């Protein structure tokens, strides 16, 4: 009886494990995952988009070249903008912290406690909203 239960248990575990591993494999024709796109070069992204458009729209050879050039130009421009956006975001963060420090010097201890409470409520509200929008 004990051997039978052990065998059944192992069988179930193996079945679940094989299904889990099968789901992790990327499927042909499916959209690339966010991590896959992040690690691609501009040329790879442009080629991927062009290949997809070629398949869907049945582009001619001349169109493929033109579409690839347009996609590559776009990817390179966006790459520069993303870099600039990261720098600006970091600068804004520094400015926000400086403003906060300056305001904290102005407020009384009671007001600081109230500010902390307000921030905690705002953070909890953001987290609850974020949980609602996440795909299951």
For residue 125, being part of any structural domain is answered with no
Query: Based on the structure, what is the number of domains in the chain?
Result: 1
Residue 23 lies inside a defined structural domain of this protein: no
In a domain, 132, yes or no: no
* Percent of the chain topping pLDDT 70: 78
The answer to whether residue 28 scores a pLDDT higher than 90 is no
pLDDT at 21: 54
Q: Are 31 and 51 within 8 A, CB to CB? A: no
Residue 122, domain member (yes or no): no
Structure tokens at 101: 């420090």
More confident of the two residues 15 and 108: 108
**120 lies in a domain?**
no
Do the domain assignments include residue 118?
no
Domain extent at residue 68 = 33-107
pLDDT score, position 127: 92
Ramachandran area for residue 79 (φ above 0: left; ψ -120 to 50: alpha; else beta): alpha
Query: Has residue 26 been placed in a domain?
Result: no
Q: What is the pLDDT of residues 61-76, one digit of tens each?
A: 999 999 999 999 999 9
């Amino acid at each position: 009886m004990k051997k039978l239960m052990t065998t059944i248990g192992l069988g179930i575990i193996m079945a679940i494990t094989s299904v889990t591993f099968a789901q992790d494999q990327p499927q042909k024709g499916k959209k690339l995952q966010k991590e896959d796109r992040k690690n691609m070069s501009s040329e790879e992204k442009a080629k991927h988009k062009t290949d997809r458009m070629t398949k869907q729209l049945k582009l001619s050879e001349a169109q493929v070249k033109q579409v690839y050039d347009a996609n590559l130009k776009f990817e390179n421009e966006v790459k520069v903008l993303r870099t600039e956006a990261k720098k600006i975001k970091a600068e804004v963060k520094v400015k926000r912290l400086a403003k906060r420090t300056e305001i904290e010097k102005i407020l009384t201890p009671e007001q600081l406690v109230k500010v902390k409470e307000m921030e905690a409520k705002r953070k909890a509200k953001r987290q609850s909203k974020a949980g609602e929008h996440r795909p299951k």
